Structure 1
Amino acid sequence: MMNPILEMRRITKTFPGVKALDNVNLTVQEGEIHAICGENGAGKSTLMKVLSGVYPTGTYEGEIVYQGKTADFRNIRDTEDRGIIIIHQELALVPQLSIAENIFLGNERASRGVIDWRKTNRSTEELLAKVGLIEPPTTKVDSIGVGKQQLVEIAKALSKNVKLLILDEPTAALQENDSRKLLDLMLELKAQGVTCIIISHKLNEVRYVADRVTVIRDGMTVASLEAGDALSEDEIVRHMVGRDMTHRFPEHKRTPGNTLFEVKDWNVWHPEHTERQVIKNAAMTVRAGEVVGIAGVMGAGRTELAMSIFGKSYGRNISGTATLRGEPIDVSTVDRAISAGLAYVTEDRKSLGLILDETIRFNTTLSNLDEVSTGGILNHNEETKVAERYREALAIRTPSVFQKAMNLSGGNQQKVVLAKWLFTQPDVLILDEPTRGIDVGAKYEIYTIINDLATQGKGVVMISSEMPELLGMCDRIYVMNEGELVGELSAAEANQERIMSLIVNE
């Protein structure tokens, strides 16, 4: 019989005017993988901040028992000294430093104040071998992909003699192959005696690795479930959202019209490596009232294609033509692309989609300030009216449009990004990973907004790494590989096997 390594009892955490956690209980057995599920804003990250010392003892009510003893964690150093390591969704690596420097940053292998690089690099090689990385220790972190960066973070945790490893949305930015490698590594760590807590919205991954699942809703524990074949994704969803969700995607019946938007002979070269062609002779069409998907593995060129079309905001020596309703349009700058009727929802809403320290009102009108200005002077009353209109239309959950974007859940942040671009009244909306890091309930709401846009006759381009999402939402799917559009499938023709076959056999 396993023993609890962690018990969090009656944890209550209150912020001004908001009770984020209300008598939450969590028990994690030694040597298990324990999943925590819940909608955005349910309190998952707040609970982990309590556990990891970000919110120290005295700032919350309740009790933490770790390894059989009551724990009073004053800061992150306290928790790391006890073997509790958290890896956040936004990786805490320094891009310009090497893998070895990152792993031992703040925990240097030194003698008399001088770093022993031979020992550092040797220890790094041993740690990288444990997580399945073969990169040299001197490799700069910004030269490896996100999947490998996740493994570097885990190697860093292992260097601190981790006993309880917490991973917050570890696969949110990863492709399917990299995700599976990371999940398999978690199972290997479990076999070595490391206890893991995983926070994830990807329920198929939860079922793959988890021994038990705790579901949090509205700051309260609502279920503790034994994992295994008997536990279905639908049951987890029912506890998360408090209702049955028979269909993950809203029903839609579309009858796309004539060609609305077309790109021909689109070529893009890398902005720094001038000899490298990133996009090669791409050609695609989008009809009015149609949702068109772009599938492909990470690095296939999907984001590069989208950004290069939207104001040539990526790449150099860009050539090709873009037309709207059969007429050529000027997309040479972002302003001109917006004026032409294009909008682009970036895959990185926190860094590129929003100004997090500003209000919902500020962010909503940011892309179309002329509409809320008179003589070059902003009309704040009009700004407020616009923000309120979109808050209601998109069901943005917030007490006020004067709330800062950083205080919203991921799903509501994404709705603010959508509001910002919908306010420009685009004809074509390009969505890059529109539901990344968003729970199933919020995803459904985003999907409904997309369907509404198509019903209005807009053209929607959806880039997604989640094949079920593309298959559930799109009328047609283009498949991209190594900078080329290598195939096109109708909704009736498309399935995961055919998409992967086009990628592999291109």
Structure 2
Amino acid sequence: MTAMTQNAEARPVLELVDITKRFPGVVALNKVSFDVRPGEVHALLGENGAGKSTLMKVLAGKHRPNGGKIILEDEERVFDTPKEAKRSGIVLIHQEQSLVPEMSVAENIFLGSTPRKWGNRVDWKRLHADSTEILERLKCDFSSRDLVSSLSIAKKQMVEIARALVFTPKIVVFDEPTASLTDHEKPVLYDVIRNLQAQGVGIVYISHRMDEIFQLSQRISVLRDGEYTGTVNTAETDEESVTQMMIGRSLELDHASKPSEFGGPMLEVRGLTVKGVCSDVSFTVRKGEIVGMYGLVGAGRSEVAETIFGLRHYTAGEIRLDGQVVDFRSTHDAVTSGIALVPEDRKDQGLVLGMNCRDNMTLAGLSTVSSFGFMKSRDERAVYDRYQQAMKIKSPSWRQRVGNLSGGNQQKIVIGKWLHTHPRLLILDEPTRGIDVGSKAEIHALIKELARSGYAVLVISSEMPEVLGVSNRIIAMYDGRVTAEFDADNVGEDQLVQAITGMTGSTPQAAGAVV
């Protein structure tokens, strides 16, 4: 609030005026204006595909606008490359990580600005000393000498943030910065942002998490379909009003009720153990039921899903599918048996970004759209058209590269790809990560509709409102073990928090839990 009071009347350090950007077949931005004051956190919101990331890439020199102007400290500027923008004090922390996996953390932090000594040789001692100082400021628990490829997604995100601190920035753009961070790492990021504010740095904050927006920002600007909708003071608005600005309507978050009728067990996991990952995990998912698996990052949730899907081999326990014991040696075995896994990382694990929408949509079920080794284009197009219409995927055509779609539309492609295999068990790992509220509500409604049509659904999520909103039952995990099992309609948030943080001695048979 202090930064807002001090800078409410200050001249903007940055102004984007009537920015227009066109791509083949689509106008991504149409005369969008936006400004940032020194020491301000200005949130930029909109549905996936609204133009937020495109606007910031124009600012950062990644895209050349077709119209409009960029004014930095009262001077009109043109950035032909990201390097020019960075040298002028504009730093973009990407939603999609842009690190070099084969290089060390220190080399990534100072990429493009490596300290040198006599003879233009790399000053390795200074490189690692400066990197270590930045990592300590961010309270990171890994070394500057570690290879980036050895880090988790959350730790890689912290390296991205560390890169911004190398420079003396005037504007820092955070694009979904907490999408991969743990609850422990988020407060560290918030402290970094407040320190930048205190130095007079302007912050652009892009996020779909409303709690963060209202906690950090002083103003909120909204884009819809590539056009500017308006700007409001954060203290003078609420989540419902901002949501209506984003999607043009009032959002009914739970317009599809949970399924209530279940069949027999589709998935039965008994005593599942994977060395170093999980131990004695047991739970059941019935036909027509949605079971939520809730826990902190690193609790073993994704690893359990990968084991069920044949990506990992277990050392003890048993998995039954529709009453039959299964022991998949490969993911192909799991798919042919009727299991589908929508992975946590859609870009690296769920899509081929260089391929078009149609080819991605049919990738998991090629045998249904081919004959004697030849693809049948008409059948491929029919599959794409079916799921494009059913899931309201926004794309100029099936020929569009998936890498050019928004995060929400990419996620819908991944889900559609797996629905095309007609699975009996659908596992969704963080199904709405990095997705706007409108797309999130659509995916939640889809999950409930799939369950009502007979699918057994396992939803893994780090978001408490999500597991409470879509699940019939909730499995809580901590440190590779199931700590409790709850009826989602009769559990308190405090019980869930205790169960996923090891603060309770709850077991699946504990009081208040269900079996």
The answer to whether TM tops 0.5 is yes
Work out whether 1:289 is the aligned partner of 2:288. yes
1:12-27 map, 5 Å: 12-27=20-35
- The 2-side partners of 1:136 and 1:450 are apart by 41
Deviation at 1:330, TM superposition (A): 4.3
Deviation at 1:266, TM superposition (A): 1.1
Letter in 1 for 2:280: N
Q: Which residue of 1 aligns with 2:383?
A: 386
Work out whether 1:172 is the aligned partner of 2:171. no
- The 1-side partners of 2:175 and 2:239 are apart by 19
Q: What's the CA shift string for 1:98-150, capped at 9, x where partnerless?
A: 33222222211112211222222332233234333364433333444444433
SS, match of residue 176 in structure 1: coil
Residue 195 of structure 1: which of 202, 207, 217 is its match?
A: 202
Residue 397 of structure 2: which of 396, 400, 405 is its match?
A: 400
Residue 339 of structure 1: which of 330, 333, 336 is its match?
A: 336
Work out whether 1:247 is the aligned partner of 2:246. no
Q: Which residue of 1 aligns with 2:123?
A: 116
Residue 435 of structure 1: which of 432, 435, 438 is its match?
A: 432
Between 1:444-453 and 1:109-118, the stretch displaced more is: 109-118
1:103-502 map, 5 Å: 103-111=109-117, 112-133=119-140, 135-228=142-235, 230-247=236-253, 250-269=256-275, 277-311=276-310, 313-314=311-312, 316-502=313-499
SS, match of residue 4 in structure 1: coil
Deviation at 1:301, TM superposition (A): 0.8
Q: Which residue of 2 aligns with 1:43?
A: 51
Deviation at 1:17, TM superposition (A): 2.4
Q: What's the CA shift string for 1:234-264, capped at 9, x where partnerless?
A: 1111100001114356333522232222111
Deviation at 1:159, TM superposition (A): 1.3
Q: Tell whether the 8 Å contact from 1:94 to 1:102 is kept in structure 2 after alignment.
A: yes
Gaps of 5+ in 1: 270-276
Q: Tell whether the 8 Å contact from 1:250 to 1:444 is kept in structure 2 after alignment.
A: no
Q: Tell whether the 8 Å contact from 2:157 to 2:180 is kept in structure 1 after alignment.
A: no
- The 2-side partners of 1:300 and 1:120 are apart by 34
Q: Tell whether the 8 Å contact from 1:215 to 1:224 is kept in structure 2 after alignment.
A: yes
Q: What's the CA shift string for 1:65-95, capped at 9, x where partnerless?
A: 1011111212111111111110101222223
Q: Tell whether the 8 Å contact from 2:425 to 2:457 is kept in structure 1 after alignment.
A: yes
Work out whether 1:64 is the aligned partner of 2:70. yes
Deviation at 1:398, TM superposition (A): 2.4
**Number of residues of Structure 1 aligned to a counterpart in Structure 2:** 494
Cα gap change, 1:422 to 1:60, in 2 (>3 Å) = same
Between 1:439-448 and 1:180-189, the stretch displaced more is: 180-189
Q: What's the CA shift string for 1:284-326, capped at 9, x where partnerless?
A: 1001111100111111111111011102x13x45443222232
Q: Tell whether the 8 Å contact from 2:259 to 2:448 is kept in structure 1 after alignment.
A: no
Normalised by the length of structure 2, the TM-score is 0.92
Between 1:156-165 and 1:62-71, the stretch displaced more is: 156-165
Between 1:108-117 and 1:18-27, the stretch displaced more is: 108-117
Q: Which residue of 2 aligns with 1:274?
A: none
- The 2-side partners of 1:137 and 1:150 are apart by 14
Cα gap change, 1:3 to 1:460, in 2 (>3 Å) = same
Q: Which residue of 1 aligns with 2:511?
A: none
- The 1-side partners of 2:37 and 2:106 are apart by 32
Letter in 1 for 2:447: I
What is the aligned-residue RMSD (CA, Å)? 1.8
Cα gap change, 1:373 to 1:135, in 2 (>3 Å) = closer
- The 1-side partners of 2:220 and 2:111 are apart by 33
- The 1-side partners of 2:132 and 2:389 are apart by 54
Cα gap change, 1:405 to 1:146, in 2 (>3 Å) = closer
- The 2-side partners of 1:289 and 1:317 are apart by 27
Q: What's the CA shift string for 1:12-52, capped at 9, x where partnerless?
A: 11112211111101011111011100001101111011101
Letter in 2 for 1:138: R
Q: Tell whether the 8 Å contact from 2:138 to 2:188 is kept in structure 1 after alignment.
A: no
Cα gap change, 1:149 to 1:354, in 2 (>3 Å) = closer
Gaps of 5+ in 2: 1-8, 505-515
Deviation at 1:177, TM superposition (A): 3.2
Q: Tell whether the 8 Å contact from 1:346 to 1:353 is kept in structure 2 after alignment.
A: yes
Q: Tell whether the 8 Å contact from 1:249 to 1:473 is kept in structure 2 after alignment.
A: no
Q: Which residue of 2 aligns with 1:91?
A: 97
Q: Tell whether the 8 Å contact from 1:477 to 1:494 is kept in structure 2 after alignment.
A: no
Identity of aligned residues (%): 40
Q: Which residue of 2 aligns with 1:7?
A: 15
SS, match of residue 258 in structure 2: coil
Q: Tell whether the 8 Å contact from 1:183 to 1:205 is kept in structure 2 after alignment.
A: no
